[in-house]
Structure 1
Amino acid sequence: MNLTAGIPAWVLRGVVGCAVVLIMVLLAGQGVSWLPVGLVGLFGVLTVLAPASPAPSFVIIATAVCLAVASEDPFGIGVLLLLPLVHLVHIGSAVTAVIPGTARVHLAALRPAAVRFVLVQVLVFALAGVAALVPKTVTPAGLEIAALIGVAALALLAARLIMKRPQ
């Protein structure tokens, strides 16, 4: 395969399909029964065939519902492995939705999406790490005050960004 001419667009759909298969394996490993796993697989096939359809959203929603019902440990390795896979389905189907199936894609064209993917994953895992450190008993007053200050700072930042928008 000559990578200087780009990769075929179907390879991206294959990556999305592989991510869905891995999601199914991890869900089965979490103890999810065959029917919900099969539904995720069906939605995954639809995602590969029609990435601009609602099917990728159904894969993501079905995965989240299955985990909410079946998983006992929100910080288990199976749950943490599902985070980048579900995100890969989201990003991969978004990219493949705008690329014709017979096209070729230069790897440089995927760099911005890949950088955003990595950045989001770093932030998600950092947030998961912080959430894992939060005590499961009564929350200390200092932590609650810090959280309130953080929420207020985020609200001020959001308000400032909204007000600076060009009209």
Structure 2
Amino acid sequence: MTMELEPGLSAWWLRAAIGVVGAAVVGLLALQGLGFSLLIVFAVVVAVTVAMPSSPGMTVLIGGAALATAFMDGDSIGFEAVLLIPLLHLGHLLAGIAAVLPATARLHLSAFRQPLRRYLLIQVAVLALVAVAVLLPAGRVDPIVEVAGLLAAAGIALVALPRR
């Protein structure tokens, strides 16, 4: 049995989407107050990632944006910093897909169903952790709460270990 597929979208749309996500990341870093010279460096990294999605450019952008956000003055859990999380993850996902496809490939949107489902699941979990971090008090914490948190983290680590 053969199945006829409609002509899909050009794989160049993935690279364009990487460029849009990268431009949004650079824009958010500019809103946070990153210096002009570093913004140029990040823009070059985005351009390299668009041209060569299989390069480590998106990983460099993720690490650089995280470091830049961590060392900027002001609130480290601001709106821009939280918005960077799904944007950088989306860029990483798009670059990973674009890296394994030839530039002349045709894409069908149904092929993105499983990666999109995984992306959304991860974002719900990560943003729930961000919400917990935002809601935690910033001052001194009672030792019993610290011990409970360490035990909970150890329990989660034990549950996450692979079983044989």
Q: TM-score, normalised by structure 2?
A: 0.91
1:68-114 CA distances to partner (integer Å, 9 max, x unpaired)? 22252122111111111111111110010001111111111111111
Is the deviation greater in 88-97 or in 74-83?
74-83
Query: Which residue is 1:69 aligned to?
Result: 71
What percentage of residue pairs aligned between the two structures are identical?
Answer: 36
Call closer, same or farther: CA 1:158–1:118 in 2, change over 3 Å. Answer: closer
Alignment coverage as a number of residue pairs: 160
Q: Which runs of 5+ in 1 are unaligned?
A: none
Does the 8 Å contact 1:36/1:62 carry over to 2? no
1:89 corresponds in structure 2 to 91
1:36 and 1:66 in contact (8 A); partners too: no
Give the equivalent residue in structure 2 for 1:40: 42
What is the correspondence of 1:55-134 to structure 2 with a 5 Å cutoff? 55-134=57-136
SS in 2 for 1:45: helix
Change (3 A) 1:121 1:155: closer
CA shift, 1:135, in A, is 1.2
Which contiguous aligned blocks of 4+ residues in structure 1 show a shift greater than 3 angstroms?
none
Measured in 1, the distance between the counterparts of 2:73 and 2:95 equals 26
Q: Which amino acid aligns with 1:57?
A: T
Aligned-partner Cα distance in 1 for 2:158–2:24? 40
Q: 1:9 to 1:143 in 2, by over 3 A?
A: same
Code of the residue aligned with 2:96 in structure 1: it is A
For residue 41 of structure 1, report the CA deviation from its aligned partner: 0.6
Unaligned runs of 5+ in 2: none
- The amino acid that maps onto 2:138 is K
- Specify which structure has the higher proportion of helix: 1
Aligned to 2:155: 153
CA shift for structure 1 position 66: 1.5
Alpha carbons 1:23, 1:82 under 8 Å: kept: yes
* Secondary structure at 1:143 match in 2: helix
